Amino acid sequence: MTTALPPRAGRRCHNALNPLHSTLYFSPDLDREFSALGFTDQSAMRLAARSAALGAVGAGTVAATFYNYNHELLARHLPAVWDIASPADVLAARLRTVDATLRRLLGEDTVSSPEMAEAAMLALRATEACTRHARPLYSAHADLSVPEAPHLAYWYAATLLREHRGDGHLAALLTVGLDPVEALVSHTATGKGMAPRWVLGSRGWKRADWEGATERLRGRGLLDAEGELTEAGTALRDELEERTDRLDSAPYEHLGAAGVERLTELGRGFLVTAAVAGAFPADLVGKG
């Protein structure tokens, strides 16, 4: 029997866990591990790291499951990356990267602490209620084995919860009518998304694509002349997140209010420690 959750409790928990998962993509340890496999391009490394659970897939599959990446960028690297290293080798290198990154950012005491073991247990319990249907990235990762070490199990569970919410978020994006670049532009306009230069650099879009999406959003009355969200734009982004919350409610309802509160508390503590240790670029988030 589940306990009723406070409003947006699941979203708050996601926001505490998801960024720690994402430290992987900013980590110098990833460059080291993937360079040892034979990778020389950073975009190829990061695309391989996130898509390897799907198998040796091509650009089309990744464009569909990642949603907001330019197919042209993906086609430059996929499926060619699998000639460099197999998905199994990439997944093993990814886990080595996570191990080194978390030890470096959090410290050995935190990695081996009872709190880390507790967080892993709670996060894994939440994943018991995740569902596979229409959730390809979650489902692919759910086929992987749970790592034994608590800090790796915590990262793995956070990955499952991230991709479960993410897959649902894509369905919500479709229902509110935001295409890939419009989704990015409107998210950045909230002040919570990546800065444009990071979006363009990592997703493969050009400045003209960004400006075109901005104009389309202005035409719909969602952005004003300065590129800020209008009242209608704010309402649409709120609706988008609320739909995503509903599609992602099962794991947190399964964990229960007390469990969600405790997992959020632990996750925030780990995240603050990682951020202070330099896990993320200083200019990653912002409108400029």
Tens digit of pLDDT per residue, the chain (288 long)? 445 899 999 999 999 999 999 999 999 999 999 999 999 999 999 999 999 999 999 999 999 999 999 999 999 999 999 999 999 999 999 999 999 999 999 999 999 999 999 999 999 999 999 999 999 999 999 999 999 999 999 999 999 999 999 999 999 999 999 999 999 999 999 999 999 999 999 999 999 999 999 999 999 999 999 999 999 999 999 999 999 999 999 999 999 999 999 999 999 999 999 999 999 999 999 997
Cβ pair 48, 81 in contact under 8 A: yes
Distance of alpha carbon 124 from alpha carbon 72, whole angstroms: 36
Cβ pair 210, 223 in contact under 8 A: no
Residue-level pLDDT at 120:
98
Q: Give pairs for 87-90: CB < 8 Å, separation 24+.
A: 87/52, 87/53, 87/54, 87/55, 87/56, 88/52, 89/37, 90/34, 90/37, 90/48, 90/49, 90/52
Distance of alpha carbon 162 from alpha carbon 19, whole angstroms: 9
Which residues neighbour 140 within 8 Å (Cβ) at sequence distance 6 or greater? 53, 54, 55
Distance of alpha carbon 213 from alpha carbon 172, whole angstroms: 18
Distance of alpha carbon 195 from alpha carbon 160, whole angstroms: 26
Cβ pair 16, 264 in contact under 8 A: yes
Distance of alpha carbon 106 from alpha carbon 136, whole angstroms: 31
User: Amino acid identity of 53?
Assistant: A
Distance of alpha carbon 203 from alpha carbon 201, whole angstroms: 6
Cβ pair 89, 217 in contact under 8 A: no
**Alpha-carbon distance values, 201 to 101, 206, 284 (Å):** 23, 9, 12
Which residues neighbour 106 within 8 Å (Cβ) at sequence distance 6 or greater? 151, 270, 273, 274, 277
Q: Which residues of 45-60 are buried (b: 16+ CB within 10 A; e: fewer)?
A: bbbbbbbbbbebbebe
**Alpha-carbon distance values, 196 to 35, 189, 238, 246 (Å):** 27, 10, 21, 29
The token duo for 18 is 């998801």
Residue-level pLDDT at 3:
58
Residue-level pLDDT at 72:
97
